[in-house]
Amino acid sequence: MKTQSKEILNRNFYNKNTLEVAKALLGMILVREINGKEIRARITETEAYMGEDDLASHASRGRTPRTELMFGEAGHAYIYLVYGMYHCLNIVTEKKNFPAAVLIRAASIEGMEYKKTNGPGKLCKVLKIDKSLNGIDVTGGEKLWIEKSGRVSSDKIRSSARIGVAYAKHSASNPWRFTVDE
DNA sequence: CCACGGATCAGCT
DNA sequence: GCTGATCCGTGGA
């Protein structure tokens, strides 16, 4: 159930350069609705996966059944299973046919700030995000969406190499991970 | 069909 | 910071 006063990020927000979206998502509120109850979490860490020549991206192998979503319309959730046991939540960005997405790596749950979910696998576990939500439109305000909140100023944003992609050759050192410096 | 490797995590150093 | 456990599902055939 969304409240009128809240502003849900629309497709325009996601239909932009992935690095810009990854940075702009910091500080925004990720909302998961389960049976009418909302779990809200402030996004604190993101990573950009952009283009077919990004060797760390699943899209680097081109269009496959799995990566088709990344080539699709911005503003949809791309959820997959890593290491056979953890789910990762991504939001598709940029125009159709350009494969890109932002991985939501960490967020702090409102009302329990001390309990930061400091990894994409744990975040999905806490928010009960799994493949049943794969492909849903996050601009629709159902089950999963992101609300506008105070944007983190650029001098508070730190960039660094992405986690777990050492195998990605020339893409491994791209500073496409963004964290809030607090 | 089925071999292979990974967008992780906990736990230890 | 580093290592190893863990096991699903992708994609190449």
> DSSP class of residue A162?
P
A170 strand C contact, CB < 7 Å: no
CA dist., res. A108 & res. A28, Å (int): 11
| Structure tokens, A136 | 């849903």
CA gap A44, A25 in Å, rounded: 8
Question: Any atom of strand C under 7 A from CB of A58?
Answer: yes
pLDDT in tens, A160-180: 999 999 999 999 999 999 999
Residue A181 has a pLDDT of 82
Average pLDDT for A94-119 = 86
Closest protein residue to C10 (Cα–C1'): A66
* A76 sits within 7 Å of strand B by its CB: no
The pTM score is 0.94
A116 beta carbon < 7 A from strand B? no
Verify if strand B has an atom below 7 Å from the CB of A82: yes
**pLDDT tens across A53-73, in order?**
999 999 999 999 999 999 999
Q: Check whether A17 has a pLDDT greater than 70.
A: yes
Q: Which two tokens stand for residue A48?
A: 């950009």
Q: Identify any residues that bridge with A180 across adjacent strands, giving them in sequence order.
A: A157
- pLDDT reading at A2 higher than 60: no
Nucleic acid strand B: bases within 7 A of protein CB: 5-10
Mean residue pLDDT across chain A: 93
